[in-house]
């Protein structure tokens, strides 16, 4: 499976002390699946880590650049995300404030382009758009 990490999960994977369960899962999952870091998740996490001065977490995030495949945002992804944003609004199921960038639709567009599954803490944001699981729901191959 191709697994695209949402910002919250990525943040826990990068934390230097807490969330050992999520970090251990990520190591196991990387052996069984293709773990992808969406550029939009990196951006959301990186800007917050810089703001709060979390240098060790930033170091871990930078290490992931060398270990995992990053999924850049192309013009085609922006266009698809705009379609998803409009579709979700028409359905009455927005995933963010009307004026916000809505990174969830960017992540969904990236997951659809990759044929992947979003790994998130809030699967509801992706319902009816793309497959989304919590990290605990990811099947592991022994």
DSSP 2: E
Angle at 123 between CA 36 and CA 103, to 5 degrees: 60
The pTM for the full model equals: 0.89
Domain at 2-137: CATH code:
3.40.50.1010
Sequence ranges of the domains in the chain: 2-137
Digit-coded pLDDT (tens) for 65-121: 889 999 999 999 999 999 998 888 888 876 666 655 578 999 999 999 999 999 999
The full length of the chain comes to 142
């Amino acid at each position: 499976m191709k697994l695209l990490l949402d910002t919250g999960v990525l943040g826990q994977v990068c934390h230097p002390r807490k969330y050992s369960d999520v970090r251990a899962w990520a190591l196991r999952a990387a052996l069984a699946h293709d773990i992808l870091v969406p550029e939009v998740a990196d951006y959301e996490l990186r800007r917050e880590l810089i703001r709060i001065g979390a240098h060790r977490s930033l170091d871990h995030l930078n290490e992931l650049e060398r270990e995992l495949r990053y999924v850049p945002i192309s013009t085609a992804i922006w266009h698809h995300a705009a379609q998803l944003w409009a579709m979700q609004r028409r359905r009455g199921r927005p995933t963010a404030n009307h004026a916000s960038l809505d990174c969830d639709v960017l992540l969904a567009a990236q997951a659809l382009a990759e044929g992947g599954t979003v790994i998130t803490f809030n699967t509801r944001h992706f319902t009816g758009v793309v497959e989304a699981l919590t990290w605990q729901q990811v099947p592991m191959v022994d």
